[in-house]
Amino acid sequence: MKLAEAFGARGMIVDSDDKVMEAVDFIMGDSDVPVLVDLRVDPEDLPPLNIQGSLMF
Residue 12: which residues within 8 A CB-CB, separation 6 or more? 1, 22, 23, 26, 35, 36, 37, 38
9: Cα separation from own chain's centroid: 15
For residue 12, the model assigns a pLDDT of: 92
Give mean pLDDT, residues 42-51.
Answer: 74
* 10, 35 Cβ separation under 8 angstroms: yes
SS (H, E, C) 21-45: HHHHHHHHCCCCCCEEEEECCCHHH
Share of the chain above pLDDT 90, in %: 47
Asked whether the predicted pLDDT for residue 2 surpasses 80, the reply is yes
Q: How many angstroms separate the CA atoms of 37 and 27, rounded?
A: 8
Return the minimum-mean-pLDDT range out of 15-19, 25-29, 39-43, 46-50. Answer: 46-50
16-32 pLDDT, tens digit each: 989 999 999 999 987 78
